[in-house]
C-alpha cells in the first residue's frame, strides 16, 4: 500500500524506498517473492503487471486444485493432508495450489466455530504449514476461520514461502438447506476494500510483521493476476468473479464445502462453465470430500476450467484422503478470449477496481515455454453419474468413512425381506466393492484400515473379494414371527445375505413378543387383538409396535455381542443401520423406536422409486440375480397375521402410493407449498380431465380425490411429526428430506389440520371447481 512519502509497504511491515526494490538482496532469501501491496493506479517499480512487462514473460502455467477428506477438529490429520496436497501439487509442477473451504479445521465443525480454541488451533496449524519448507515455491490458497475486530469470518489465507500475502474473507454466506454460516460467521460487507489485520503472536515472528492485508483484494504476479471467491459466492447473481474478470483478474479460485445431493454436480458444473464462458478466464474449483463427522457427504469433484471448457476433473466419490489435479493452461488464450469490444467497454466503464497485492513470484516459467513437450491441457468431457450410480458410490464411500473413523468393528442391518433393508444391505456391499478396488490399487490408508477392521482370518490378512470383506465387517439378521412373517421374505433375506457374503442370522422373536404381550394381559386383565381378529385400531397398532420395538432392541443386542461371539480379536461392537426411506418418514409410516432407530440411515433421504431403480441397476451391475425378487414383491411391514384373505400392504395402510408421497414431499419442501397451495397445484397436475402425453405417468383423480389425498398427507405428517425429532441421522441425498436436525425445521405439535383454515380453503376451492365442471359438462 503506497504511503504519503511515495514508499511502498511490504506485507512484512517493512518500509522500503522505491530504489530498494531493485536490490533483491535486501530481502531474506526465503521471502524474495514477497514484494509489496499497491492500489490500482500506483504501479510497483519491480512488480510490473504482465500488461506492461518489458521482459519476455511465459504464458504457459501449471496450476493445481484438490479434494481433501478432512475431518472436523482433526487438527494434525487435516494439516498433514494439506501439506501432502501441496507437495503433490509441487511434484506435478504447479505453482498455485487451491484447497477446500475451512480445510484446516474441517467444514463441518458447526457450533465449535463459536469456540475460541478453534481459532487458536487453526493458527497453530497454519504456523506448522508456513514453517514447512517443503511448502515453499508455490502460491497457496488455504481455508480457515479468522477472528478480526471481534467478528468471525470464513477466510482464504493466501501464502507464499512461509509468509501471508493477504487474508480474504467470504462476502456471501451460505444460509439455506443444511448451511448455517450466518450463525457462525459475519459476511465481509465491503467490496474491494481492505483493512490491516493484527496477526496473533504465534505468527508475528515468522511473518516479520504485526499486520497483513485483510479484505477484498487480489494478488498480482509479474505474469498474471488471481483472485479468490468462496463456495456460495459463485451461486449469487452478482458473483465476485464478474467484477474481478472485468478488472483483469485472469485466474479465479473457488474453495468449497459443497455437499452431495443427487444430480447436484450437473448444476454446480454448469454454473462454473457459464461463469468462465461469459467472462473468460481460468477457474480452479476445490472441494472437501467424504464424511467429516456429520450426515453430509462432500463430493469432491475438483475442477479446472478455461474459458468455459473443463480441462481437468477430479473424482466425485473416492476413498483417497488427498486427491490433487493439475492442468497446464495458456494465459494468452484468456486474453484472446476477452478481446471482444463489448467486454472491453464494460471493463473500461467499470468502477470495480481491486487493490492488488504484488509479488515477484511468477506462475509461468521460461523453461516451461521453451519445452515443446509441454502443451496446454486439452478440454475433456465432464464425468457424470446416474442416480443409481450416485447412490451406490456416495453412500458406499460415506459408510466407509463413518466406519473407519468410528472405531467400531462393522455394521449390522436387520433384513426384513423388503426392498428398503435390501437397499441398505446392497449399499454396504457397494462399500465393500469400493474398498477392495482401493486395496487392489494400493491405497495405503485403505489397506491399513482394512487390516484393522478385518481380523477374523488373522492379523494383517487382507480379504480378496467384496464378499470376503463383507463377511468380516457386515452382519445381517432376519427377525421373524411365525404367523406374521412369510416364507418368501425369510428366503429373500437368506438369498441376499448369501449373495453379498454377510454373516447372517435367522431367528424368530415370538417368545419375546409373547412375554411382552402377557405383561399387559396380566397387569390390565385385558388381551389386545389384531384387527383381523376383531381388535380395535389401537389394539392393532399396539401389537404391531411391540414387534417392531423388540426388533430394535434385538438388533442392538446382537450388534454389541456378535464380534465377541464370533471370536473377533479385541471384540468390539457393530453399528446398526436403519432402513426407513424418505416417504415413510414424511408419512410417519414407521414405529417410533423400531428398526428405524439406528446409528445411521444411508437411505433416509432417498425415495422408494430411486431405491427401486438402484436395486434394478445393482442386480445387473453387481451381478446379484436375487435382487429381482425384491423388485417384484409387494411392500409390506408384515406386522399383522397373514391369512388367505389378508396380507398387509404398505400403500393400502398409508392411503397413498409411494409415488404420490414423493410428489407431495417435493411440493412441500422444494416448492414450499402448504395444504392449500399443494391442492391448487395437484388439482391440475392430477386432473382426470387433463390431456395426457406419452410420458405423463402422474395419477389421474377427480378433484375431490386429490383434495382427500392432500388432506391425508398433511394430517398424517402433522400427527407423526414428533417421530422426526428422534429419527436416526440419515445421509443427506435429496432436497426434500424431512430431516429435523437443521434441514427441515418445523414444529412437532400442530393444531388439528382437519379443523384448519387451510383445509376450509381447500373445501371452498373444491366447491368452486366442481360447480365449474358441472356447468361445462352441461
Rounded Cα gap, residues 560 and 405, in angstroms: 18
Q: Is 101 a catalytic residue?
A: yes
Kindly state the cell numbers that stand for 769.
Answer: 371447481
Tell me the sheet residues that pair with 504.
476
Choose, from 49, 85, 360, 416, the residue flagged as catalytic: 416
Give the DSSP H or E segment for 683.
helix 675-685
How many CB atoms neighbour CB 598 within 10 A? 28
Rounded Cα gap, residues 353 and 365, in angstroms: 28
Rounded Cα gap, residues 686 and 696, in angstroms: 10
Rounded Cα gap, residues 591 and 723, in angstroms: 8
Backbone phi, psi, residue 308, to 5° = 95, -5
Q: Is 448 a catalytic residue?
A: no
Q: Cα angle vertex 265, ends 375, 393, to 5°?
A: 100
Rounded Cα gap, residues 191 and 640, in angstroms: 64
Choose, from 47, 122, 231, 432, the residue flagged as catalytic: 231
Rounded Cα gap, residues 367 and 372, in angstroms: 10
Kindly state the cell numbers that stand for 501.
Answer: 457374503
Rounded Cα gap, residues 493 and 420, in angstroms: 12
**Quick check: 111 and 298 in contact, CB under 8 A?**
no
Rounded Cα gap, residues 300 and 68, in angstroms: 8
CA end-to-end distance (rounded Å), the chain: 82
- For 279, residues 6+ apart whose C-beta sits below 8 A from its C-beta are 241, 242, 245, 246, 338
What is the SS3 string spanning 298-322?
EECCCEEEECCEEEEECCCCCCCCE
What is the SS3 string spanning 174-217?
CCCCCCCHHHHCCCCCCCCCEEEEECCHHHHHHHCCCEEEEECC
- For 46, residues 6+ apart whose C-beta sits below 8 A from its C-beta are 21, 22, 35, 36, 360
Rounded Cα gap, residues 509 and 554, in angstroms: 9
For residue 743, the SS3 value is coil
Rounded Cα gap, residues 349 and 30, in angstroms: 40
- For 685, residues 6+ apart whose C-beta sits below 8 A from its C-beta are 663, 698
- For 714, residues 6+ apart whose C-beta sits below 8 A from its C-beta are 674, 675, 678, 753, 758
Tell me the sheet residues that pair with 142.
157
Query: What does the longest C-alpha to C-alpha distance in the chain come to?
Result: 101
Tell me the sheet residues that pair with 225.
220
Kindly state the cell numbers that stand for 558.
Answer: 446382537
Choose, from 90, 101, 181, 733, the residue flagged as catalytic: 101
Backbone phi, psi, residue 281, to 5° = 125, 175
Backbone CA torsion sign across 186, 192, 193, 197: positive
For residue 442, the SS3 value is coil
**Quick check: 737 and 605 in contact, CB under 8 A?**
yes
Kindly state the cell numbers that stand for 349.
Answer: 466503464
How many CB atoms neighbour CB 62 within 10 A? 20
Catalytic residue numbers?
101, 170, 231, 416
Amino acid at each position: 500500500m503506497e504511503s504519503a512519502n511515495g514508499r511502498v509497504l511490504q506485507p512484512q511491515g517493512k518500509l522500503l524506498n522505491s530504489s530498494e526494490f531493485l536490490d533483491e538482496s535486501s530481502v531474506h532469501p526465503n521471502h524474495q517473492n514477497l514484494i509489496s501491496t499497491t492500489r490500482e493506479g500506483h504501479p510497483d517499480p519491480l512488480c510490473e503487471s504482465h500488461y506492461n512487462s518489458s521482459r519476455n514473460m511465459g504464458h504457459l502455467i501449471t496450476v493445481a486444485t484438490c479434494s481433501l477428506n478432512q475431518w472436523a477438529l482433526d487438527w494434525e490429520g487435516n494439516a498433514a493432508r494439506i501439506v501432502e496436497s501441496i507437495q503433490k501439487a509441487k511434484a506435478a509442477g504447479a505453482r498455485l495450489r487451491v484447497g477446500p473451504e475451512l480445510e484446516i479445521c474441517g467444514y463441518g465443525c458447526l457450533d465449535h466455530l463459536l469456540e475460541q480454541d478453534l481459532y487458536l488451533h487453526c493458527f497453530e496449524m497454519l504456523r506448522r504449514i508456513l514453517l514447512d519448507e517443503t511448502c515453499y515455491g508455490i502460491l497457496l490458497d488455504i481455508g480457515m476461520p479468522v477472528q478480526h475486530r471481534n467478528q468471525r469470518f470464513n477466510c482464504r489465507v493466501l501464502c507464499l514461502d512461509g509468509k501471508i500475502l493477504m487474508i480474504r474473507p467470504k462476502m456471501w454466506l451460505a444460509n439455506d438447506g443444511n448451511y448455517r454460516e450466518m450463525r457462525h460467521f459475519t459476511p465481509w460487507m465491503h467490496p474491494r476494500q481492505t483493512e490491516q489485520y493484527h496477526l496473533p503472536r504465534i505468527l508475528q515472528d515468522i511473518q516479520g510483521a504485526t499486520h497483513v492485508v485483510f479484505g477484498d483484494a487480489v494478488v498480482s504476479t509479474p505474469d498474471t493476476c488471481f483472485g479468490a471467491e468462496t463456495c456460495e459466492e459463485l451461486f449469487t447473481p452478482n458473483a465476485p468473479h464478474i467484477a474481478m474478470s472485468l478488472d483483469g483478474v485472469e485466474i479465479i479460485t473457488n474453495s468449497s464445502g459443497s455437499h452431495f445431493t443427487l444430480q447436484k454436480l450437473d448444476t454446480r458444473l454448469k454454473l462454473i462453465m457459464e461463469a468462465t464462458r461469459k467472462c473468460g478466464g481460468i477457474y480452479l474449483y476445490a472441494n472437501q470430500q467424504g464424511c467429516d463427522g456429520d450426515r453430509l457427504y462432500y463430493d469432491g469433484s475438483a475442477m479446472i476450467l478455461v474459458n468455459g471448457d473443463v480441462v481437468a476433473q477430479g473424482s466425485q466419490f473416492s476413498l483417497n484422503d488427498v486427491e490433487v489435479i493439475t492442468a497446464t493452461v495458456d494465459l494468452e488464450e484468456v486474453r484472446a478470449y476477452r478481446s471482444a469490444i463489448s467486454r472491453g467497454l464494460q471493463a473500461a466503464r467499470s468502477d470495480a477496481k481491486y487493490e492488488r497485492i504484488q509479488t515477484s513470484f511468477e506462475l509461468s516459467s521460461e523453461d516451461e515455454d521453451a519445452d515443446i513437450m509441454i502443451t496446454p491441457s486439452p478440454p475433456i468431457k465432464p464425468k457424470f453419474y446416474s442416480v443409481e450410480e450416485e447412490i451406490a458410490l456416495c453412500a458406499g464411500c460415506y459408510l466407509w468413512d463413518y466406519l473407519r473413523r468410528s472405531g467400531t468393528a462393522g455394521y449390522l442391518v436387520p433384513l426384513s425381506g423388503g426392498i428398503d433393508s435390501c437397499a441398505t444391505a446392497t449399499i454396504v456391499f457397494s462399500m465393500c466393492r469400493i474398498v477392495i478396488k482401493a486395496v487392489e490399487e494400493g491405497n495405503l490408508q485403505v489397506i491399513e484400515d482394512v487390516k484393522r477392521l478385518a481380523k477374523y482370518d488373522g492379523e494383517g490378512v487382507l480379504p480378496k473379494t467384496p464378499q470376503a470383506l463383507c463377511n468380516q465387517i457386515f452382519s445381517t439378521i432376519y427377525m421373524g414371527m411365525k404367523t406374521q412373517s412369510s416364507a418368501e421374505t425369510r428366503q429373500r433375506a437368506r438369498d441376499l445375505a448369501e449373495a453379498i457374503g454377510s454373516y447372517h442370522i435367522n431367528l424368530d422373536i415370538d417368545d419375546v413378543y409373547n412375554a411382552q404381550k402377557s405383561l399387559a394381559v396380566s397387569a390390565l386383565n385385558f388381551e389386545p387383538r389384531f384387527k383381523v381378529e376383531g381388535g380395535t385400531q389401537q389394539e392393532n397398532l399396539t401389537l404391531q409396535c411391540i414387534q417392531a420395538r423388540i426388533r430394535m432392541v434385538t438388533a442392538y443386542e446382537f450388534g454389541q455381542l456378535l464380534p465377541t461371539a464370533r471370536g473377533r480379536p479385541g471384540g468390539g461392537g457393530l453399528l446398526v443401520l436403519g432402513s426407513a426411506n424418505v416417504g415413510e418418514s414424511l408419512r410417519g409410516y414407521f414405529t417410533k423406536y423400531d428398526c428405524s432407530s439406528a446409528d445411521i440411515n444411508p437411505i433416509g433421504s432417498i425415495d422408494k422409486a430411486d431405491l427401486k431403480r438402484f436395486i434394478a441397476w445393482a442386480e445387473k451391475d453387481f451381478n446379484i440375480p436375487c435382487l429381482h425378487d425384491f423388485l417384484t414383491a409387494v411392500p409390506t411391514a408384515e406386522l399383522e397375521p397373514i391369512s388367505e384373505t389378508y396380507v398387509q400392504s404398505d400403500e393400502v395402510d398409508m392411503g397413498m402410493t409411494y409415488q404420490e408421497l414423493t410428489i407431495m414431499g417435493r411440493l412441500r419442501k422444494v416448492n414450499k407449498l402448504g395444504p392449500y397451495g399443494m391442492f391448487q397445484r395437484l388439482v391440475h397436475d392430477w386432473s382426470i380431465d387433463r390431456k395426457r402425453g406419452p410420458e405423463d405417468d402422474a395419477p389421474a383423480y377427480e378433484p375431490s380425490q386429490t383434495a382427500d389425498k392432500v388432506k391425508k398427507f398433511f394430517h398424517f405428517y402433522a400427527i407423526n411429526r414428533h417421530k422426526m425429532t428422534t429419527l436416526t441421522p440419515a445421509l443427506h441425498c435429496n432436497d426434500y428430506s424431512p430431516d429435523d436436525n437443521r434441514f427441515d425445521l418445523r414444529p412437532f405439535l400442530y393444531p388439528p389440520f382437519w379443523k384448519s383454515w387451510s383445509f376450509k380453503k381447500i373445501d371452498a376451492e373444491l366447491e368452486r371447481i366442481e360447480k365449474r365442471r358441472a356447468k361445462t359438462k352441461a
